[in-house]
Each structure stands twice: as C-alpha cells, then as structure tokens.
A and B are shown apart, each in its own frame.
Chain A
Amino acid sequence: MDQIITAAVAVVAVPLVLLGYIVLGERVIEALPDRLQVAIRPYFWALPAIGFATIFMIYPLVRTVIISFRNSEDSDWIGFANYKYFFTFPDTLTSLRNSLLWLIFYTSISVILGLVIAILLDRVRYESLAKIAIFLPVPISAVAASIIWKFMFDYQAPGTPQTGTLNALIGTIGHEPVAWLINSTTNNAALIFVGIWTVTGFCMVIISASLKAISTEVLEAARMDGANEFQIVRLVVTPLLWPTITVVGTTMIINALKTFDIVYVMTNGAYDTDVIATQMFSQLQHSHYGRAAAVGVVLFIAIVPLLVVNIRRFQQQEEQR
C-alpha cells in the first residue's frame, strides 16, 4: 500500500516539482542583471539532466575503473590481478569465447536476415502483414522470449513423446531428440538463435525504412540495363543501404556484447554458455566487486571503438544541420 502511494505521489510530484523549478527558477533568474542571466540560465535548465548523467553514468564509469584495480574489500590496490584472473581463469575465458561467438554470429546473422527479409517483403503485396509477424518478438521481453524458446527446445528422453516443438519436428524425420540447451555443441548456437529471433524484426524495420527511400527510377534504370534481380540487390540496393546497415550493425554489436537476459534466464550460464555480462553479474552477486568491475571495464573497452564511431557520425550530422 505504501508503495502505491509513493508511486502515485511520484508521478504527480515529479512533474510538479520540475514545473516549480522552472517557473520559480526563471523568476529568480529574470530578476538578475542581463549578463548574469545569460551565463546562469543554460546551466539551470540542463542541470537536472547533467546531474543525473553524472551521478549514474560518468562518476560510476570512473569509479568502476578504480574498483577494478582494488581487492574485493576495496581496501587495497592490487594492480592488474582482477584482469589477470579474468584472462586466465577457465570459466571466465569460456565466457569471453562465448561473447565472441555472440559478437560474430548474432551481429552478422541478424543484420543479414533483416536485410534479406526487408528486400523479400518489398516485393510482395502482403508486406505489412508479414512484417508484423517478423516484428512480433521485438516488444516481447527477453524473459518471455526465453520461456517461449525453452518450450521450443524442450527435451524428453528418447522414446517418450517430445513436448518441444523442435525435437518433435526432427523426430518426424526419425532423428533422435537433442538436448539443445545442455549439449555443449548446440547450446550456444541455440541461445544465439533466440537472440537473433528477438532482434531480426528490429533490423528489418530500420533497413526497410531506408529501402523505401530508394527511388524506383534507380531500380528501373538498372532493369533497363539488363541487370537481374540478384545483381540489382547486390550492386544497387545494398550499396545504397550501406549507411543504414552500418548503423544497425553497430547497434547489434553493442547488443551482442551486452547480452545478459537470454543467457541468464535460459541456462543461467550453465553448461559453458556463460557470456561476459552474466559472468560479471555472478561476480557481483558473490561480492567480488573488483573482479566484476574488471569484467565491466573489458566490456567497456570493447565498446570504445563504437563510441568513437558514434561521436564522429554525430559530428558529421551536426555539420550538415
């Protein structure tokens, strides 16, 4: 009951407080001399946002780097010991390998599938209906998607009726059931596929939006010149979509590196399916803050190149404004 009241108060109070902050603050600022007004006002408006970003992102970023060089009690400097642990201990190395698998396969397959489906659907009349089917998993949480796919991958001992859709399917062609999530040759692929399944619709929608922006005249001209459909896609459409593909690709790389929910819910990192984000979380739960922080820093370093690319692209866009 208390929680409901607090939440209700927050929903009403936060905008009211901000409103009061704006109106009263502006009144105070307007009473100041002009030059002081100009100097103070922007900071007054940007302060809540900058403050939140500082407390919850900038300061923690710096602090995490510091923690990664300290012991788990945060009482002493231990140099690179936490990193050494991460790069030598077999369990963490497995998580590193798996994250690499996610990075390569999740990223490439989801982008390629998004592109292929967008191009295929562009050629049929029931495009918008088919898009809904492909896009359906996007709003679904990773938790629900994991349960959906736990059912698809469900395994019963050979000879008993298979309740998992996949095992029933391969059973119809006489194949023995596979313990998809336990068998170490299939489980990472299975998890990565679930990730791809949840995100292909996202890639498709974005790529499709820029596909629609390509003028039909360009395609028509290529057809006039005798190009077949495959040549058109490879030589005309894909190059024109390239900027969009790279944007979607970078988003997918970040997703791949941050992957946590699907692995945590479906296997909890068991049977060698750990990725760096689940590895970090289990270190955190065991209060090995130093080690967890080191994993976080490794993750961050992997993302830094994308961060630079993002900023550079932003600066280019700014010049065009």
Chain B
Amino acid sequence: MSAEQVTTRRESAVGAGVSTLDRLGYRLQRLPLHLVIIIFCAIWLVPTVGMIINSFRGVSDMGNSGWWTTLFPPHGFTLESYQQVLAIEGVTPSILYSVLITIPATVIQLAIATMGAYAFAWMNFPGRNLFFIVIVGLMVVPIQMTLIPVLQFFQLIHLNGTIMAVWLAHSGYGLPFEVFLLRNYLGGLPREIFESAEVDGAGHSVRFLRIAVPMTIPAIASLTIFVFLGIWNDLLVALTFLGTSPYRPFTVVITGLVTSLGGGWQFLTAAAVLQMALPLAVFIFLQRYFVRGITSGSVKG
C-alpha cells in the first residue's frame, strides 16, 4: 500500500505535459473505474456499517423498519439491545471465557512453536527434513479429520469440557503453521551471529534466548495477532470440545442464541458488535502487523 508507487504509476499512465482538455477527457474516461470501485467498497462496507447502526436501535424498531430509516430524524438511538443481550444468562461470562481461552492458548502454542522452529532451523538431526515435510503437509489437514480421536482422548484423560482441553487442542492445530513460518524466519537470520556466539562459548539456551528470540520478535508479533484472532473467532473447536460445557466462549453462546431463537433474534446485532469489536480494534490499530502476518503466511506457504 505504498502511496509513492501508486502516484508514479498513475502519472505514467497520464503522460507528462497534457492540455487541460486532454486531462478532462482522461478524467471522464476514468469515471467508470471510480464507479466500479465505489460499488465494490459499498458492498463490502455497507453490511457491517448497517448492522452496527442497527445494534443501537430499539429492539422493536429493528423488527419493523430497516437500519437506514435511523439515518433520518428521529434517530431513536438506544442501548436497549446491548442491555438485553448482556442480561441473558451466560452471555457476560462467555466473554470472559473467550479471553480465558484465547490468551493462554496463544501463549502456549507460540512458546512451543518458537522452540521447535529453532531446532528445525539451526540444528542438524536425522529425520529433520522428513519431520518438516510432515509439518508442511499437516498445515493443510482439515481439523475435522482429528476431532473425534481428540475428543475421545480428552474423555479418556477427563479433560473434556474444560478450558484446558481447548488450549491444548488449539495449540496442536496451530503448531504446524507456526513452526513452518518461524523456522523460515529463524533460518533467514545471519549464520555468523550464531557462529560467533558459539565461539564465545554461548550454549544453545543462551543463543536461543538472547539471540534467536529477540531477533524473531517481528515475526512473533505478527503471528501473535493472527493466532489470537483466530482463536477469538473460532467456532468449530470450541463447539466440539466445550459445546455443552459451562465454559462456552462468546462465539458458541451467540451461535446457540441465533439457532435457538428463530424469530426475534434481532437484538443479537449487539452481541455480534461486541464480538467483533476486538478484532476490528486490532485490525485498525495494528493494521500493518495484521496484513504482514497474512501476506508472509500465504505467499511463502
């Protein structure tokens, strides 16, 4: 998204030293381009904006008229649907459970992944390539393929329905991608640094903690955002391992309300806004890391 490049390309299309009439013609010619872009932006923006507006309307208004009617007076903004949603039993705790699931699960998997990636990047061992190829393959395995045995495993060790089970499951599912990404990043660090540290008598624990980890912070930061939001937004894993547990996270509780309410679900707009507030805030304030995480992950993967 570099502005400089955009300008140069645009100007090269115009050409230098054109008359006013030419410029006007050029503007007119480009009108369809702007129109198409505006239509695309509207389709991608309006649904979200409309729902956010709707969430601040009275619950009965929502069922009787569209969100756009609020744009004209009387606006009738109210926090009614937020009050109604938060008053439903289990909704407020579920937001807390989402936090309690997401933060430890993120920390656990990134800590383990960084350590594993270091071994794959800077140590030689028989079977290293084979193990790594398996990890590359696991990145695309659908988690549906693993749900039943993992569920049975949790039942066996009496962990089913606990938050800890979801931490472990998420960590297992997230690891292949994280190890892959971090290993590529770690492997790209200059060899000389590690070699001179070794000459100075630094063991692997020092090299890992003092050199590898600090130098990998940019990659870990992007990955943290990505993993954190992935778990915060997850439905399937939580539904499978916590579906009937008292510790259901926010996404599962909202989904339960949507499917059980049938009609009169309109006030759930407030729940959706609350659920997406965190991802949107992360996106807006940490946009650069967010986009970098996405591009580095898939262009190389």
Give the interface of A toward B (CB within 8 A): 3-4, 6-7, 10-11, 14-15, 18-19, 22-23, 26, 30, 39, 41-43, 45-46, 48-50, 52-53, 55-61, 63-64, 67, 117, 120-125, 127-128, 130-144, 146-152, 161-165, 168, 197, 200-202, 205-206, 208-210, 212, 216, 219-220, 223, 244, 247-248, 251, 254, 257-258, 260-261, 264-265, 268, 277, 280-281, 284-285, 289, 292-293, 295-297, 299-300, 303, 306-307, 310-311, 314-315, 317, 321
Q: How many A-B residue pairs have CB under 8 A?
A: 355
B264: chain A residues within 8 A (beta carbon) = none
Q: Among the listed stretches B16-24, B116-124, B190-198, which one makes contact with chain A, having 4 or more residues with CB under 8 Å of it?
A: B116-124
| Pairwise interchain contact A142-B235, C-beta atoms closer than 8 A | yes
Query: Does B138 lie at the interface of the complex (its beta carbon under 8 Å from any beta carbon of A)?
Result: yes
Known A-B contacts A136-B45, A281-B236; the reply to A41 vs B123 at CB < 8 A is yes
**Interface 0/1 of B142-169, CB less than 8 Å to A:** 1111111111010000000001100111
With an 8 Å Cβ cutoff, the count of chain B residues facing the other chain is 130
Known A-B contacts A22-B209, A134-B40, A296-B144; the reply to A122 vs B107 at CB < 8 A is no
Measured in the bound complex, the distance between the Cα atoms of B9 and A42 in whole Å is 50
**Interface 0/1 of B84-108, CB less than 8 Å to A:** 0000000000001101100110011
| Pairwise interchain contact B205-A22, C-beta atoms closer than 8 A | yes
- Chain B residue at smallest Cβ distance from A314: B136
Report which of B9, B64, B142, B282 forms a contact with A299, defined as CB distance below 8 A: B142
Report which of B46, B111, B169, B243 forms a contact with A165, defined as CB distance below 8 A: B46
| Pairwise interchain contact B103-A18, C-beta atoms closer than 8 A | no
> What are the 6 closest A-B residue pairs judged by CB atoms, nearest first?
A56-B172, A49-B116, A141-B233, A42-B125, A45-B119, A60-B146
Known A-B contacts A150-B265, A206-B298, A280-B144; the reply to A264 vs B235 at CB < 8 A is yes
- Min CB–CB distance B280 → chain A (angstroms): 6
Known A-B contacts A58-B138, A131-B1; the reply to A6 vs B164 at CB < 8 A is yes
Give the interface of B toward A (CB within 8 A): 1-3, 5-10, 12-13, 30, 33-34, 36-37, 40-41, 43-48, 50-51, 54, 62-68, 96-97, 99-100, 103-104, 107-109, 111-113, 115-120, 123-125, 128, 131, 133-151, 153, 163-164, 167-169, 171-173, 175-176, 179, 187, 203-205, 208-209, 229, 232-233, 235-236, 239-240, 243, 247, 251, 254-255, 258-259, 265-266, 268-269, 271-273, 275-276, 279-280, 282-283, 287, 290-291, 294-295, 298-301
| Pairwise interchain contact B173-A56, C-beta atoms closer than 8 A | yes
Measured in the bound complex, the distance between the Cα atoms of B205 and A41 in whole Å is 11
| Pairwise interchain contact B259-A296, C-beta atoms closer than 8 A | no
| Pairwise interchain contact B66-A162, C-beta atoms closer than 8 A | yes
| Pairwise interchain contact B299-A209, C-beta atoms closer than 8 A | yes
Known A-B contacts A49-B179, A151-B269, A307-B141; the reply to A165 vs B50 at CB < 8 A is yes
Would you give 15 A-B contacts (Cβ < 8 Å), ordered by A? A7-B100, A10-B104, A41-B123, A60-B149, A64-B148, A67-B148, A130-B41, A133-B45, A139-B280, A143-B254, A148-B51, A151-B54, A247-B299, A265-B259, A310-B136
| Pairwise interchain contact A251-B298, C-beta atoms closer than 8 A | yes
| Pairwise interchain contact B235-A165, C-beta atoms closer than 8 A | no
B117: chain A residues within 8 A (beta carbon) = 49
| Pairwise interchain contact B147-A53, C-beta atoms closer than 8 A | no
Known A-B contacts A58-B138, A144-B276; the reply to A123 vs B145 at CB < 8 A is no
A247: chain B residues within 8 A (beta carbon) = 298-299, 301
Known A-B contacts A18-B112, A123-B33; the reply to A7 vs B138 at CB < 8 A is no
| Pairwise interchain contact A26-B205, C-beta atoms closer than 8 A | yes
| Pairwise interchain contact A161-B235, C-beta atoms closer than 8 A | no
- Min CB–CB distance B95 → chain A (angstroms): 13
Measured in the bound complex, the distance between the Cα atoms of B145 and A165 in whole Å is 38
| Pairwise interchain contact B134-A254, C-beta atoms closer than 8 A | no
| Pairwise interchain contact B149-A212, C-beta atoms closer than 8 A | no
| Pairwise interchain contact B205-A258, C-beta atoms closer than 8 A | no
A23: chain B residues within 8 A (beta carbon) = 205
Measured in the bound complex, the distance between the Cα atoms of B107 and A197 in whole Å is 31
| Pairwise interchain contact A64-B97, C-beta atoms closer than 8 A | no
| Pairwise interchain contact A53-B175, C-beta atoms closer than 8 A | yes
B229: chain A residues within 8 A (beta carbon) = 139
- Min CB–CB distance A183 → chain B (angstroms): 17
A63: chain B residues within 8 A (beta carbon) = 148-149
Kindly list 17 other residue pairs between chains A and B, CB separation below 8 angstroms, not including A57-B138, A130-B41, A205-B291. Answer: A11-B104, A26-B205, A49-B117, A60-B149, A120-B33, A123-B13, A133-B45, A135-B291, A139-B282, A139-B283, A141-B275, A161-B65, A202-B294, A247-B299, A254-B142, A277-B144, A307-B137
